[in-house]
Structure 1
């Protein structure tokens, strides 16, 4: 497909059918509509790849093929768009068969462009279906000779997102041996359910289970509720902050069991950098004991993911776990510099 820009009244012939956006300044852009979100239209062109066009600067829009759209009243349609006058468009409601193929067109309807909320929205925006995303990473090494060592690290996260809910499940496993003796043996799993009460605000319930033989933790359970704010949630940029109350219970291998109420603060951030080819990410979670300031826990993870091919990537990250009151004979801080190979889906 050849994309063309038309300035003023000058028209360059198109070599293939294309979608068309006419701007208020008279320019016409041809190519392919990818999606609309956050008052921006992503438009694919042959000369500049994907470009973003501000929705309020668009005078008319026309598409050759049916697109999934969501109106401001939350109606979801499959239709072509055909603007015939400023700020308005005619939509053709398309009937689909069981395989999702176009069967026939029925009634036409006029809408204002200001009523068009999304084009090709994801399930969490349209409210139709579930958007599954996630990742799994594997790292390790084997050394034989004067020293026989083996290290294995496996971690993963899966997120199910709908319009009003987000379920996040994660787990990490670390194993290491040196000459047949365990030198690292820990696991951590978590589950969190978010219920959005507005576009940005949500309430959540979470639970975390942790085991670490070398920190004397047989089982640490953290359960809580709270609220969060989704600052950004779009391709290439995500950020939320949240806080709430938790109850922490710890069974030790040697020390006496303890439990206490706590306050929780967490942040999760990722962003595409270096032209979108690399992802920077940072997460942290802090638990403060309400009975004693020394009952404090902190977990952080910061790193970069680099694409390899298709959905495979490599990553480097720095993890830090800190305990204000560790078991007797244990240190406050555990840190690790980790290299992984991973697979992502979305």
Structure 2
């Protein structure tokens, strides 16, 4: 009995002491061995080239469990910086004839029976991208015959140079030539200059707007009954244009070039919309729709001309 009496106060005292003792703190969680926290990795990637060594040294001190991963990330970033440096040096030193890329498109139509029709169209689009300059050369031809009579004959060529002075803005100079007897002119020159704005520049989407003053000189195609008529026209105009390239899904790409030339005489509105998808290698197929509207064509010709075509496209 005396043992029970002696043990009871001891148990009560032990319970009271346990109740007053604060619970042990949970051990601090540490990153797994060899795992670099995502915020630290992003900090290293965002470092300027001159700050990379300092940021990497700080990361090694605070994340000793991931030194090997930090070293690998730094090596990857340095390799990317070196590749970009070499690319910029190559662009800065290449000649005008080097660095061109582009595509050639060819389409044809043949029908027989009550009406025999043959048509062909071709386009060449070349682009050279430099550090701040971008050059574009474009040429096209389109003709069609119906029962031996020519029903469409159009040719065109243009050159444009863009100079980007900020990530979103650029200046441009444009000169173009076109001939379309069925639209009422044998030749028409257009010169334009102005400013452009890149509204969107992402891997799957590019959208740009540009505009400025323009000057057009036109040689009209009057018929033989009016040999003494004044065939020359010259006018100041305003030229505006949009350029859209959108990768819809996979290899399916939608493009659209649309614009206007508005002046004191005949105004022109135009648009080219196309869907292009890859076939094999550098070969693609394209379905396009062209529309062109002249507000005051000569000899009461039709104001709006549309062409729908399917073409094979080769990229190089």
With the length of structure 1 as denominator, give the TM-score of the two structures.
0.65
Spell out structure 1 runs of 4+ moving beyond 6 A.
111-117
Question: 2:286 is matched with which residue?
Answer: 315
Q: Aligned pair in 2 of structure 1 residues 309, 320: CA closer, same or farther (>3 Å)?
A: same
Task: Pick one of 9, 29, 33 that aligns with 2:32.
Answer: 9
Partner Cα distance (1:231, 1:120) in 2: 28
Partner Cα distance (2:82, 2:152) in 1: 49
Q: Which has the larger radius of gyration?
A: 2
Q: State the shift of 1:246 in Å.
A: 0.4
Q: Spell out, residue by residue over 1:282-318, the C-alpha distance to the aligned partner (whole angstroms, 9 max, x if none).
A: 11121110xx2x5311110112111111121111111
Question: 1:32 is matched with which residue?
Answer: none
Q: Aligned pair in 2 of structure 1 residues 271, 85: CA closer, same or farther (>3 Å)?
A: farther
Q: Aligned pair in 2 of structure 1 residues 238, 267: CA closer, same or farther (>3 Å)?
A: same
Question: 1:257 is matched with which residue?
Answer: 232
Task: Pick one of 206, 217, 234 that aligns with 2:174.
Answer: 206
Task: Pick one of 252, 255, 263 that aligns with 1:281.
Answer: 255
Partner Cα distance (2:299, 2:81) in 1: 56
Number of equivalences? 257
Which structure features the higher share of helix residues? Answer: 2
Q: SS in structure 2 opposite 1:328?
A: helix
Question: 2:116 is matched with which residue?
Answer: 148
Partner Cα distance (1:131, 1:87) in 2: 41
Instruction: Quote the RMSD (CA, aligned, Å).
Output: 3.4
What is the 5 A alignment of 1:124-135? 127-128=91-92, 129=94, 131-135=99-103
Partner Cα distance (1:72, 1:151) in 2: 60
Q: State the shift of 1:155 in Å.
A: 0.9
Question: 2:42 is matched with which residue?
Answer: 58
Higher relative contact order (CA 8 A, sep 6+): 2
Unaligned runs of 5+ in 1: 1-7, 13-21, 27-56, 62-69, 74-80, 89-110
With the length of structure 2 as denominator, give the TM-score of the two structures.
0.71
Q: Aligned pair in 2 of structure 1 residues 233, 258: CA closer, same or farther (>3 Å)?
A: same
Question: 1:38 is matched with which residue?
Answer: none
